[in-house]
Amino acid sequence: MDELSLYLNISRLFVGILILLYASYTDIKTRKASNILWIIIGITGGLLLIIEFIFVGFENELTLLFIPMMMIIIYLLFQFLPFFGGADVKALMSLAILVPFEPRIFIFPIWGSIMPFTWIILSNSVFIYLVIPISLFFYNLYKRNFEFPNCFLGYKIDLYVARKRFVWPLEKIVDGKRKISYLSMNKDIEGIYKKFEAEGINNIWVTPKIPFMIPLLIGFIVSFFAGDILFMIMSKVL
């Protein structure tokens, strides 16, 4: 491997980790991440690509098409997947510039893939995100709340606690009856809580607003060292 390419890929790794780590911190605290973070990643990624093009060259310049292609795919996924927020989309789009193709660092990643590297980061992040429903199930098992499928999607808490936490209600009052409201991101959360209070209900199912930025950070690191987990599993099964 060319020594400059190695340093460029290590730079991509550290820039991505530092920015995503800080973004994860702010996302946990405020459920927000500053746009300047993604601008930094995008500019850094662009500069690294220019340096690589001038001093090393690309094996195939057509791989640069992965950048706009992944941006379009990420935007379309944002329209349909409820766990994606605006910051998550901007983060993935900026990562499409930072690492448009597989970065080699010594023997890593272990499992190669034919997919664009940003797609590998996304698929690994979603794979890690799926740990959350399993964790919720065991939590509800401990609490003896066995309502299916609620036990995989959230947990039960008192209304006064729900008001203080980053959660969405998993149910609402419709015509005086409790109804499950899956994947509802209703902005009038307080209005939903007041309807429960009017019905004398003080304990409800909620789903946590878990920042996708955290699985994205883990998925980014895993992608650099392990590679495409989903592709590896499929190649073993098929």
Q: What is the 3-state secondary structure (H, E, C) of 153-216?
A: HCEEEEHHHHCCCCEEECEEEECCEEEECCCCCCCCHHHHHHHHHHCCCCEEEEEECCCCHHHH
User: What one-character DSSP code corresponds to residue 63?
Assistant: G
**Is the CB of residue 122 less than 8 Å from the CB of residue 115?**
no
pLDDT at 187 over 90: no
Residue 59 pLDDT = 80
What pTM did the predictor assign?
Answer: 0.86
Tokens at 133, concatenated = 């429903």
pLDDT digit string, tens, across residues 192-222: 899 999 889 999 999 988 888 999 999 999 9
Distance CA 164, CA 167 (A): 9
pLDDT digit string, tens, across residues 65-93: 889 999 999 988 888 766 677 899 999 99
Identify the CA nearest to 95 among candidates 150, 133, 44. Answer: 44
Distance CA 85, CA 140 (A): 26
Question: Which has more confidence, 88 or 235?
Answer: 88
Least confident window among 29-38, 54-63, 226-235: 54-63
- Topology, domain 3-129+214-237: Four Helix Bundle (Hemerythrin (Met), subunit A) (1.20.120)
Mean pLDDT calculated for residue range 156-181:
89
Mean pLDDT calculated for residue range 30-48:
95
Mean pLDDT calculated for residue range 27-53:
94
Ranges of each domain in the chain:
3-129+214-237, 132-208
- Tracing tokens 């090393």 back to the chain, one arrives at 56
Q: Could you please report the per-residue DSSP string of 105-142? A: BTTB-SB--SS-HHHHHHHHHHHHHTHHHHHHHHHHHH
Residue 186 pLDDT = 60
Alpha carbon 200 to its chain centroid, in Å, reads 37
Residue 184 pLDDT = 58
Residue 144 pLDDT level (bands cut at 50, 70, 90): very high
Identify the CA nearest to 155 among candidates 179, 172, 137, 173. Answer: 137
pLDDT at 16 over 80: yes
pLDDT at 140 over 80: yes
Give the length of the chain.
238
Q: What is the CA radius of gyration of the chain?
A: 21
